[in-house]
Amino acid sequence: MSPQIRDQPILTETHDLASFVPEPGSTYVFGTSGEERSAHSSDWESRAKDVRFVRITEQQTSFFTVEKDENHVQLRSLEQLQRFWQQIRVGTIYLDITGLSHHVWAPLLRTGLVETKRLIIVYVEPGSYRFSLTPTEGEIFDLSERIIGISPLPGFASLTDPSDEDFCFVPLLGFEGTRLAYVLENVQPTGGKIIPVIGVPGFEPQYPFYTYHGNRLPLSETRAWRNVRFAKANCPFSLFHTLQQIAQEYPRDTLKIAPIGTKPHALGAVLYTLASSTPVELVYDHPIRKALRTSGTARLLLYHVSVLPLAGVRR
């Protein structure tokens, strides 16, 4: 059965980064990377009133570390993740995923939805992406160093039968056609059941064209360009609705979703996986991102995820 988002107040808020401050009495969980847009919260600490900032300082494959805490939080330990939230769950909780890797924020989101009453996801768009100095087919931007390989995100192990051919493959596209080619080679979907999703409108008007250009070769070889769907690039709920529609069109198939595009789309895929009462598999390639792949900052977005009916988590 496909999950439904019932009538709710606006689920996404858009703010100017310079003027936004977390509400008093809240807790702000965040991490930083080499990207300028992930370091904004240091300024808030001097302007915010009665806000507790919890900084994740180390993001490893199997654990993360919180500033001023020598203990590691194991990403595959439900008990340790629950304990992390239980220590800070009073009031509104902001989880800023801008500077956090997918394998860190996804299990935090899953457990945070259970352990907190009001969880708000924060995401800051980049000002621009860095073009490659030596562009090649599928790599017009200089975004990733390498791909580690396909493996489940912590807490999202696949429940599907690897031999089951009754699945619909839904890659959420970004600019990197090499990543799409890689997951296609590993998943081996049938051509008629590849439903790519492109972020339209994009963060910038030209970005959908870059997405088509970067993914031109695998889209052409599989003829999947005929099945492309669109969802707003910075809106997880737009992607959520798109996945609902695809699931309704393929009711007998498992959805295998590859979140290789925008982080808001990845968030929507994780939320859909948690909401679905039927099997959904996340196919992730775990890229090593380049530290200076973006420059500048743009809009700050708040996603009110706690209002969603999530069948995959227990309240």
Q: Residue 273's pLDDT band (boundaries 50, 70, 90)?
A: very high
Q: What is the pLDDT of residue 139?
A: 72
Region 57-65 average pLDDT: 94
Mark whether 108 and 228 lie in a shared domain: no
Measured CA to CA, the distance from residue 110 to residue 10 in angstroms comes to 22
Mark whether 114 and 145 lie in a shared domain: no
Mark whether 228 and 99 lie in a shared domain: no
Region 46-68 average pLDDT: 90
Sign of CA dihedral 152, 158, 162, 167: negative
Q: Which residues pair with 297 in a beta bridge?
A: 126
Mark whether 172 and 78 lie in a shared domain: no
Nearest one of 23, 34, 40 to 299, comparing CA atoms: 40
Does residue 18 lie within any of the structural domains?
yes
Mark whether 193 and 120 lie in a shared domain: no
Region 111-128 average pLDDT: 92
Of 308 and 150, which is predicted with more confidence?
Answer: 150
Mark whether 62 and 153 lie in a shared domain: no
Phi/psi-derived region of residue 138, left when phi > 0, alpha when psi is between -120 and 50, beta in every other case: left
Does residue 6 lie within any of the structural domains?
no
Q: pLDDT digit string (tens) for 284-309?
A: 999 988 777 787 888 999 999 998 87
Of 19 and 185, which is predicted with more confidence?
Answer: 185
Q: Mean pLDDT over all residues of the chain?
A: 88
Nearest one of 253, 100, 57, 97 to 167, comparing CA atoms: 253
Region 118-128 average pLDDT: 92
- Tokens encoding 210: 């870059």
Does residue 223 lie within any of the structural domains?
yes
Measured CA to CA, the distance from residue 296 to residue 1 in angstroms comes to 42
Does residue 4 lie within any of the structural domains?
no
Does residue 255 lie within any of the structural domains?
yes
pLDDT over 70 at 161, yes or no: no
Does residue 2 lie within any of the structural domains?
no
Mark whether 46 and 188 lie in a shared domain: no
Does residue 7 lie within any of the structural domains?
no
Measured CA to CA, the distance from residue 165 to residue 186 in angstroms comes to 14
pLDDT over 50 at 8, yes or no: no
Measured CA to CA, the distance from residue 72 to residue 88 in angstroms comes to 16
Q: What is the pLDDT of residue 246?
A: 96
Measured CA to CA, the distance from residue 96 to residue 44 in angstroms comes to 13
Mark whether 159 and 289 lie in a shared domain: yes
- CATH number for the domain spanning 204: value is 3.40.50
Q: Residue 40's pLDDT band (boundaries 50, 70, 90)?
A: low
Mark whether 19 and 150 lie in a shared domain: no
Mark whether 72 and 192 lie in a shared domain: no
Q: What is the pLDDT of residue 164?
A: 65
pLDDT over 60 at 314, yes or no: no
Of 23 and 36, which is predicted with more confidence?
Answer: 23
Range with lowest mean pLDDT among 98-107, 204-213, 241-250, 284-293: 284-293
pLDDT over 60 at 184, yes or no: yes
Mark whether 119 and 145 lie in a shared domain: no
Range with lowest mean pLDDT among 140-144, 185-189, 237-241: 140-144
Sign of CA dihedral 137, 143, 147, 153: negative
Measured CA to CA, the distance from residue 46 to residue 29 in angstroms comes to 16
Domain total in the chain: 2
Q: What is the pLDDT of residue 169?
A: 96
Of 280 and 38, which is predicted with more confidence?
Answer: 280
Predicted model pTM:
0.92
Q: Around Cβ 206, how many Cβ atoms within 10 Å? A: 9
Does residue 312 lie within any of the structural domains?
no
Mark whether 86 and 159 lie in a shared domain: no
Measured CA to CA, the distance from residue 19 to residue 251 in angstroms comes to 45
Q: Are 45 and 303 in contact (CB under 8 A)?
A: no
- Give 194's DSSP letter: B
Q: At what angle do helices 78-86 and 102-115 cross, to 10 degrees?
A: 60
Q: What is the pLDDT of residue 13?
A: 93
Q: What is the pLDDT of residue 168?
A: 95
Q: What is the pLDDT of residue 192?
A: 80
Nearest one of 254, 216, 263 to 235, comparing CA atoms: 263
Domain that residue 158 falls in: 135-294
Q: What is the pLDDT of residue 89?
A: 72
Of 286 and 1, which is predicted with more confidence?
Answer: 286
Q: Distance of alpha carbon 237 from its chain centroid, rounded?
A: 12
